[in-house]
Amino acid sequence: MIKAISYWSMKHGLAGSHPIDDALASAKEAGFDGLELCVGVEGVLTPNSTQSECEAIRRQIDDSGVVVQTMANGMSWALNPVSNDETVRQQALQLNKAALERAAWLGVEACLYVPGVVKSPIYPGELVRYDRAMQRCREAVTSLLETAEEVGVDLCLENVWNGMFYSPIELIEFIDSFGSDRLGVYFDVGNCLGYQQHPPHWIELLGDRIKRVHIKGYKENFGWQGSYSFCDLGEGDVPWEEVAQALRNIGYDKTLIAEMMPWDETLLARTSSVMDRLFEFEASKSRD
């Protein structure tokens, strides 16, 4: 596996304004082998970025020696692909198609896609009836897959707190129904616990449908006034040893991207150190 960090974990990453050359340098300095780019409606990388701008970024990547194989995309939170408003759905579709095109120009292999929002504790908004959301999701993915296959980028649906795909079985049936090697899962280990699920079981069931992996810490305090929080890797309730073994068991050897927020001055260094311990990255390097 390739140890990587999200652009969103950089100081100005969530705002989309952190210079990409600085993000590459910061990732390398902290001991990461890879960086995940992030596209947004504003910032240094958007659906309006030109081909020449993307190719310039690719040259920065190649010069840095840092692996960049993926791009995350959070635009579905603001423009819901399964919205009750058809205009919003069309806007979301066009933005996500443009994101896939930019991913190809950037030379990345996979693009994260939030497939829509029924209801979410993270971004409160309109309520969408589940059956309608699933039908609209199918229509959107059908259209996006045409673009993904044309430009040669994997379209990866994330399991995220969006009120959809609560079960790995449901996700498997949806993915398999398209019969496309370009469609897969962007599996987020930490998000599973918010569904009251066991991440290693999802990994075992999804198998090679998992095209990319995000990791984050998560802990929950159950009670009459229960609460949850995302936390540092190695803390909280994620069964990391079982997760690491499950990923090895399915032969996963691609990018393992820490999506850690909010930024602080020691975030990258301590995340890198914990990943070495949890996934034996340093031991792997010494064997190489």
Query: What is the value of pTM for the model shown?
Result: 0.94
CA dist 214 and 19 (Å) reads 22
CA–CA dist 47, 102 (Å, integer): 7
CATH top-level class of 2-287: alpha beta
Residue 66 pLDDT grade (very low, low, confident, very high; cuts 50, 70, 90): very high
Q: How far, in Å, CA of 145 to CA of 140, rounded?
A: 8
pLDDT recorded at residue 278: 95
- Give the three-state DSSP class for 9: helix
pLDDT at 287 over 50: no
What is the rounded distance in angstroms from the CA atom of residue 71 to the CA atom of residue 64? Answer: 17
Burial (0-12, 13-18, 19+ Cβ within 10 Å), 147 = buried
Tokens, residue 137? 């999701």
Residue 197 near residue 183 (C-beta atoms within 8 A):
no
**CB-CB neighbours of 85 under 10 Å:** 12
The pLDDT score that the predictor gives to residue 14 is 93
